[in-house]
Amino acid sequence: MNVLIVEDEKGLALEVDEFLSHEGFTVEHARTKKSASEKIFVNNYDFILLDLGLPDGDGFDLLKMLKGMNNREDAVIILTARGAVDDRVSGLEQGADDYLAKPFSLNELLARMHAITRRKHRLESNDINVKGLKINIQNRTVTYNDERIALTKKEFEIFNYLVLNKNRVISRTNLTEHVWGDVLEINSDSNFVDVHVKNLRKKLSAYIPIDWFETVRSIGYRINI
Amino acid sequence: MKLQVKLALYNTLTKLAIILFTGLLILLSIEKISYDHVELRLEENERETLRNLNSKEINSKLTNQKPYTDFNILKEEFITIKPVKFEPTVTKNASFTTETRTNESVTQTYRILTHQFNFNNHTYLLEIGVSITSIEELKSIIKRFTLLTLLIALALTLVSDLIFTKFLLAPFYKIIDRKLIKVNDPMNFDYEKVKTTTQDFELLDDSISTLMKKISNLFSLEKQFIANVSHELLTPISIISSRLENILLQEELSEASENKMHASLKTLNRLKSIINSLLLISKVENNQYDKADVVMIAGAIMEIEEELEDRLEEKHLTFNNNIKYIYSIMGNRPLMHTLLFNLINNAIKYNKPKGSITVADELKEDVYILEITDTGAGMDQQQIENAFNRFEKFETEEKESYGLGLAIVKSITAFHGIRVKIDSVKEKGTSIFLIFNRE
């Protein structure tokens, strides 16, 4: 899958590029509105990561241009340091698929991209298989041999996020932010996410051994598949 | 009292004084002029009488030492001559008095000339009277007329003054209303001039507009500054955090370095939270949010209770939702959510394990009061006073607290015009009261 990063901050673009390339994406850069519009005009992308504050104009214009073109399926994720609620609302209203406020976690970005892919392309059967557990994103359920495991909304979110970011240590901070959103003053350091993970592990281990669901001491969790 | 009413009252009072003064003046001068006139006539009559003393009729009466009295038909004038005790010398001068006399059953007020004179070795008292009833009547008519004029003038001037000053001051009140009272946001100030021909009001209007322009320029500068700061600070944080995440992907990383990377990410996250909190406060204080949502207090509390369920469970806290009223305000939904979230989150954070949190409300004549009570550490007076200061934090088991929660509460409540009151007893617990004015 190919991604266009429209971002004037070179350092950030390079890091996102490195991360996404590592994940198997083909990545291109555009640092200005002008070069971005040229690239969008010539190529189809699976994802366009769009910064709103570009040196030669507003990223919203690119979104408008894209929406005016026929037969384009490019998913747009707005990345902005403006953070204002208004931007978020108008971004989604104008047809962006998602919105991430800077600074964002690359894992979070990846999870959002996966979610969009599933939504857009209705991948395979929508189910992800983890050691015999079937995760259905649409229905937000986990089943084992067609038997539904009763997970709470948050437990499901945690499990799904860890699976999406499999084989990588996900810190509590990252996990908290993903599940609870960017709530001011709620803090990461507190271990209340642990309570949910503990319950989640208990529920899963009732069905299969979960030695692949690892607790990384003082940092967070990792699912090894 | 309104300026308009004051001006009208002042005008009325001055007119009242002028009319009263003129009325009195006219009254007094009429009295004076008519008395003078009457007295002249009386003196003339006196001379005439004295000249006619020798006339047959009078003389016969006088020689008999009998009083002589004469009236004209309408009893408007009379003349009497009475013999009195003999005095060799008599005063030459006549004197004037005003008296009421009854002559042949007709009572009238007379101006009377009294004169003693000697005639044929006898002393006589001469009285000549002229009725002044007509003058008295004239006086009372003038009095009534003056009073009537006074009342009519009073009413007319009061009404006309009120109307005129209302017309005159209309632009002034318009300026006050449109440019001062209704403006709560200098960014949406109405620069259109209020129509007036009064120079002073034009000056006032212009001055307010100039002032507002300055304020709104400052506001937009600050807005711009906040936007820039947020971009300039959050972008580098974003780069560093992405870079650290990428380093974490490298397989050859030692466990120690991995831990450090994660710790750094956490620190960055903290930095981000602080910047976002400060940005939020600045934006709220700069009125960069609208108040277009209907926010149901009870609903918002329920949402937050659900969101924080796990934290409540973790500390084994009981959450008592005693809200009785369905009260809603016009406000900003995300901000109101943040406000209530911060308060309830604090109630959890500073609570003791197995404690409780009680949310209750009260609807009064003019206010709605929401009360959030915890059974936590409590605060002393000094702490309560400092509670809303930025970066003020209290001892808590949770290590990470930036002391911005209540500063955010303060700015959001100020933005919505909500008053906050804190009651707290050390080691017992804290009650926070949000007092909403009912419109």
Q: What is the per-residue pLDDT across B45-97, written as a single tens digit (0 to 9) for each?
A: 888 888 887 777 777 777 777 788 888 777 788 888 888 888 777 666 778 88
Q: Are B437 and B327 in contact (CB under 8 A)?
A: no
Helices and strands, counts by H and E, chain A = 8, 14
The verdict on A18 touching B (C-beta cutoff 8 Å) is yes
- Strand partners for B359: B321, B372
C-alpha angle A142-A147-A148 in degrees, rounded to nearest 5: 40
The pLDDT value given to residue B413: 92
Structure tokens at A199: 């319950």
Nearest to B333 by CA among B365, B297, B357: B297
- Strand partners for A220: A171, A216
The verdict on B314 touching A (C-beta cutoff 8 Å) is yes
Structure tokens at B209: 């507009």
Across residues B187-200, what is the average pLDDT? 83
User: Residue B426: how many CA atoms within 13 Å on its side-chain side?
Assistant: 7
Structure tokens at A157: 């979110």
Q: Which H or E run contains B129?
A: strand B122-131
Of the candidate CATH numbers 3.40.50.2300, 3.30.70.20, 3.40.50.280, 3.10.450.750, the domain formed by A2-121 belongs to: 3.40.50.2300
- Distance of CA A32 to CAs A40, A48, A109, B42, B228, Å? 12, 14, 22, 119, 19
For the structural domain made of A127-223, what CATH number should be given? 1.10.10.10
Question: First-to-last CA distance in chain B?
Answer: 25
CB-CB neighbors (< 8 A) of A187 in chain B: 273, 398, 400-401
pLDDT more than 70, % of chain B: 96
- Asked whether residue A124 carries a pLDDT value surpassing 60, the answer given is no
B291's CB contacts (< 8 A; 6+ apart) are B330, B331, B332, B415, B416
Q: What's the CA gap between B335 and B347, in Å, rounded?
A: 18
Distance from CA of B317 to the nearest CA of A (A): 14
Cβ count near A102 (within 10 Å)? 25
- Asked whether residue B231 carries a pLDDT value surpassing 80, the answer given is no
Q: Are A17 and A24 in contact (CB under 8 A)?
A: no
CB-CB neighbors (< 8 A) of B289 in chain A: 85
Question: Is the Cβ pair A185, B241 closer than 8 Å?
Answer: no
- Which DSSP string corresponds to A96-163? -SEEEESS--HHHHHHHHHHHHHHHH--TTSEEEETTEEEETTTTEEEETTEEE---HHHHHHHHHHH
The verdict on B248 touching A (C-beta cutoff 8 Å) is yes
Question: Is the Cβ pair A82, B231 closer than 8 Å?
Answer: yes
Helix axes A192-205, A153-164, angle to 10 degrees: 80
pTM beyond 0.90: no
A220's CB contacts (< 8 A; 6+ apart) are A169, A170, A171, A172, A173, A174, A175, B262
| Domain spans in chain A, listed from the N-terminal domain onward | 2-121, 127-223
**pLDDT tier at A125 (50, 70, 90 boundaries)?**
low
Is residue B260 classed as helix, strand or coil in its secondary structure?
helix
- Asked whether residue A188 carries a pLDDT value surpassing 50, the answer given is no
Q: Which of B245, B269, B311 lies closest to A106 in CB terms? A: B245
pLDDT more than 90, % of chain B: 17
Q: What ipTM was assigned to the predicted interfaces of this complex?
A: 0.80
- 258-277 in chain B: CB under 8 A from chain A: 258-259, 262, 265-266, 268-270, 272-273, 276-277
From the number of C-beta atoms within 10 Å of its C-beta (0-12, 13-18, 19+), residue A200 rates as buried
**pLDDT tier at B175 (50, 70, 90 boundaries)?**
confident
Question: Is the Cβ pair A187, B401 closer than 8 Å?
Answer: yes
Cβ count near A215 (within 10 Å)? 13
Q: List own/partner pairs for B279-283 with CB under 8 A and 24 or more apart.
A: B279/A83, B279/B226, B279/B229, B279/B230, B280/A184, B280/B338, B280/B408, B280/B411, B281/B390, B281/B404, B281/B407, B281/B408, B281/B411, B282/B222, B282/B226, B283/A84, B283/B226
Nearest to B7 by CA among B157, B199, B181: B157
Give the β-pairing of A98-101 and B429-437.
unpaired
Q: What's the CA gap between B387 and B47, in Å, rounded?
A: 107
Question: Is the Cβ pair B231, A81 closer than 8 Å?
Answer: yes
Helix axes B199-248, A106-121, angle to 10 degrees: 90
* Average pLDDT over all residues of chain A: 84
Structure tokens at B289: 């949010």
The verdict on A22 touching B (C-beta cutoff 8 Å) is yes
Across residues A42-67, what is the average pLDDT? 88
The verdict on A19 touching B (C-beta cutoff 8 Å) is yes
Q: Are B58 and B122 in contact (CB under 8 A)?
A: no
CB-CB neighbors (< 8 A) of A215 in chain B: none
Structure tokens at B389: 């200061």
Render pLDDT for B96-128 as a digit per residue (tens, 0 to 9): 888 888 877 778 888 888 888 887 778 888 888
Q: Are B170 and B147 in contact (CB under 8 A)?
A: no
The verdict on A12 touching B (C-beta cutoff 8 Å) is yes
Give the β-pairing of A127-130 and A133-136.
antiparallel
Cβ count near B1 (within 10 Å)? 6
The residue whose two tokens read 């617990």 is B429
Structure tokens at B269: 């996250």
Render pLDDT for A135-171 as a digit per residue (tens, 0 to 9): 887 778 898 888 899 888 888 989 988 988 888 888 8
B387's CB contacts (< 8 A; 6+ apart) are B379, B406, B422
The pLDDT value given to residue B294: 92
Rg (CA), chain B: 49
The verdict on B341 touching A (C-beta cutoff 8 Å) is yes
* Average pLDDT over all residues of chain B: 84
